[in-house]
Amino acid sequence: MSKNEWAQPFLKWAGGKRQLLPEIIKYIPANIDTYYEPFVGAGAVLLHLQPDKAVSNDINSELINTYQVVRDHIDDLIADLSKHVNDKDYFYRIRELDRKEEFKFLTPVERASRMIYLNKTCFNGLFRVNSQGQFNVPFGNYKNPSIVNEKVLRAVHDYLVNADVKFLNGDFAEAVEGAKKGDFVYFDPPYDPVSDTSSFTSYSLHRFDAKQQIRLKELFDELNDRGCRVMLSNSTTPFIKDLYKDYHVKIVGAKRNINSKASGRGEIDEVLVMNYGEE
C-alpha cells in the first residue's frame, strides 16, 4: 500500500514523536509482520510508517474513540467539527460537558469532535485531566486555530480503512499479547520525570510511576525472549539508563513544544532502547 504523506497526526500531544521521527526511523526494522504500539498517543510513528497490519493501544478512552470515529464516521465527524467556534465562553461550555450527566449520552462522533475541538483550542494543545477524569486545560486564546483540518483527517481515514489497524483501549501488556517473532513493538510510555516538577502523566486517571516503568521493562524482556524486535523511547534519567543497560541504548535529541513553562521547552536528550542492532 502506497503511503499518503497527508496522513499525519491530527492532534497535538504531550510526548508526541514528530520531532523525534528522523531518529526513530533510522532504527526501524525493514521487514515487519505486525506493528504494535501500546502507547499510540497522537500516532506520529504509526502514521509515518503506515504499516499494512498494526495493533494500536492507548489507556485514554477518548483518544481511542477518536481514532475509531476517524476510521468509521469521517463525514459525520467533519460535519460536527464544523459546528464549533473559537470562542472562550463556547470553549468552556464544551469543556464542562464531562462534568455533566449528559456527557454519557454523547455519541462517539460528538465525543471525538469535542476531543479534537478542545485539543485545537485549549492552551498549548495539552490533553490533561484532573483526579475525577475531567478535562481541565484552559482556553488557549489563539487567533485562528485549525479546528477542521479536513485534508489530514481524510488522509488518516483513508489509511485506516485500507490497512488492518486494530485499536485497543487497555493495559499496555494486554496490547502485545499476540506479538510474536517477526513483529515489531514500539513503546512510547509516559516518560520517567527528569525532575520533581517535570512529570506529566495526566493523560488519564492512570498514573505511570516507577513501578509501571519496571513492569514495562519486564514486558520488554518477555518480548525479547519471544523473538520480537522491540524499541522504546524514554527520558535519559539514571533510572531508565540503568533499567535498560543490557540493551542497545542510543542518546538522541528531540525538541519539546508542550510544557506549561517556556523554560521547559526546547531540545532535550532522550533515549532509544532496542533489543537489536542497527539494520
- Residue 206: predicted pLDDT: 60
Within this chain, do residues 89 and 142 fall inside the same structural domain, yes or no? yes
pLDDT at 1: 66
H or E stretch including 56?
A: strand 53-57
Q: Are residues 126 and 45 in the same domain?
A: no
Half-sphere CA count of 224, side-chain side, radius 13 A: 17
Q: In this predicted structure, what is the pLDDT of residue 131?
A: 82
Residue 260 is predicted with a pLDDT of 45
Q: Is 158 part of any domain?
A: no
**Whether residues 177 and 124 fall in one domain:** no
Q: Which amino acid is at 222?
A: E
87 and 33 in a single domain? The answer is no
b/e map 23-50, b = 16+ CB within 10 Å:
bbeebbeeebebbbbbbbbbbbbbbbbb
CA distances from 276 to 179, 230, 254 (A): 16, 8, 22
Which pLDDT does position 125 carry in this prediction? 85
Residue 53: beta bridge partners? Answer: 164
- What is the distance between the alpha carbons of residues 123 and 67, in angstroms, rounded to a whole number? 22
Determine the Cα–Cα distance for residues 237 and 230; give it in Å rounded to an integer: 20
**Is residue 192 classed exposed, middle or buried when 0-12, 13-18 and 19+ CB atoms within 10 A define those classes?**
buried
Same domain for 28 and 105, yes or no, is no
Q: What pLDDT does residue 46 have?
A: 97
Same domain, 138 and 208: no
What is the rounded distance in angstroms from the CA atom of residue 197 to the CA atom of residue 258? 14
- 187 and 204 in a single domain? The answer is yes
Confirm whether 159 is domain-assigned.
no
Residue 203 sits in the same domain as residue 270: yes
Rounded CA-CA distance 183/55 in Å is 11
CATH of residue 128's domain is 1.10.1020.10
Residues 72 and 137 in one domain: yes
Overall domain count for the chain? 2
Cell of 39: 502507547
**Do residues 175 and 50 share a domain?**
yes
The pairing of beta strand 184-187 with beta strand 229-235: parallel
Per the domain annotation, does 230 fall within a domain?
A: yes
What CATH number does residue 179 fall under?
3.40.50.150
- Per-residue confidence (pLDDT) for residue 62, from 0 to 100: 95
**45 close to 17: Cβ distance less than 8 angstroms:** yes
Which cell is 13 given? 500531544
The domain of 78 spans 68-150
Residues 174 and 268 in one domain: yes
Q: What is the pLDDT along the chain (279 residues), one digit of tens a residue?
A: 689 999 999 999 877 777 889 999 999 999 999 999 999 999 999 999 999 999 999 999 999 999 999 999 999 999 999 999 999 999 999 999 999 999 999 999 999 999 999 999 999 888 888 888 899 999 999 999 999 999 999 999 999 999 999 999 999 999 999 999 999 999 999 999 986 555 444 545 567 899 999 999 999 999 999 999 999 999 999 999 999 999 999 999 866 554 444 444 456 789 999 999 865
Q: Are residues 45 and 175 in the same domain?
A: yes
